[in-house]
Copies of this chain bind each other. A is one copy, B any other.
Amino acid sequence: MDFDNNEVFPQLSLDCVIFGFHDGTLKVLLLKWKASEYWSLPGGWIWQREDIDDAAIRILQERTGLDHIFLRQFYTFGKTKRYDSQELANMLSYIIDPKAWFERTISIGYYALVDYAAVFPNPDDFTEECKWWDLEVVPELLFDHNEILKKALHSLRLELSYQPVGYNLLPEKFTMPEMMKMYEAILGRKIDPRNFQKKILHSGIVTKLDEVKKGTAHKSPYLYKFDQQKYQEVLEDGGLFIM
């Protein structure tokens, strides 16, 4: 019952799939391990005196600089052979302590949706680079992180189908085509712009502003912002919002 403040939970880690949206595509934040060519999801350990949700918030804060992030726990990965620890030892033994790392670990997965432009990617102690990857070209990752990423995307799509999402993926003011492209990027399919607009406006979760976005090479699109109150209502009622 009495733990030191700086003791972590044994054999239990937390991995974060951080999604961003930029240039019409979904991005995910990955870390490159020191003196290697290997990438992984951001992750970390859980303090004994820390709620797991708080651990996820902390890890996100450390990697992105952001607070108040959309965050969902989506699955706990607990196979005994989540990855080949011999292989991992070969890849990383020069940088990490095998005893602490290569015993069996269970990992709790969280995914986050963040405003791409607001993020300052920041590597941790084991890594030398932290950057956005286009979802389409994510390389082979360390541990079972490709599987975790896949499941996160699946959970996100599912969530999208019964809840409004996007408040945290878009800047404060955004255009309807931007929002639509975000939905297309998550769902992985085209959406009809007329039907999309009709549905979104009818739901009331966004408000049209008296501004247009200037500097585009084309007709200036109107700007919108989320209606916080309505957004929350729809979130809580649930089921109202299916794309």
A102 interface residue, CB < 8 Å from B?
A: yes
* Interfacial chain B residues near A51, Cβ < 8 Å: 78-80
A10 to B9 CA separation, bound complex (whole angstroms) = 9
* Interfacial chain B residues near A108, Cβ < 8 Å: 76, 78
Stretch at the interface among A23-31, A42-50, A118-126, A132-140: A42-50
* Interfacial chain B residues near A158, Cβ < 8 Å: 162
Q: Closest residue of chain B to A74, judged by CB?
A: B75
- How many copies the complex holds: the figure is 2
A52 interface residue, CB < 8 Å from B?
A: yes
* Interfacial chain B residues near A80, Cβ < 8 Å: 49-51
Number of interface residues of A (CB under 8 A): 29
Instruction: Report whether B104 and A1 are in contact in the complex, using a CB–CB cutoff of 8 Å.
Output: yes
A66 interface residue, CB < 8 Å from B?
A: no
A233 interface residue, CB < 8 Å from B?
A: no
A146 interface residue, CB < 8 Å from B?
A: no
**What 1/0 mask marks residues of chain A from 45 to 71 whose CB sits below 8 Å from any chain B CB?**
010111111000000000000000000
Instruction: Report whether B79 and A1 are in contact in the complex, using a CB–CB cutoff of 8 Å.
Output: no
A106 interface residue, CB < 8 Å from B?
A: yes
* Interfacial chain B residues near A237, Cβ < 8 Å: none
Q: A175 to chain B: closest CB distance in Å?
A: 29
Q: A37 to chain B: closest CB distance in Å?
A: 25
Instruction: Report whether B73 and A53 are in contact in the complex, using a CB–CB cutoff of 8 Å.
Output: no
* Interfacial chain B residues near A1, Cβ < 8 Å: 85, 102-104
* Contact A79:B52 (CB < 8 A) given known A11-B10, A162-B161: yes
Could you list 10 further interchain pairs (A-B, Cβ under 8 angstroms) beyond the known A11-B12, A52-B78?
A: A9-B106, A50-B80, A51-B79, A52-B76, A52-B106, A73-B75, A73-B76, A76-B108, A78-B108, A161-B162
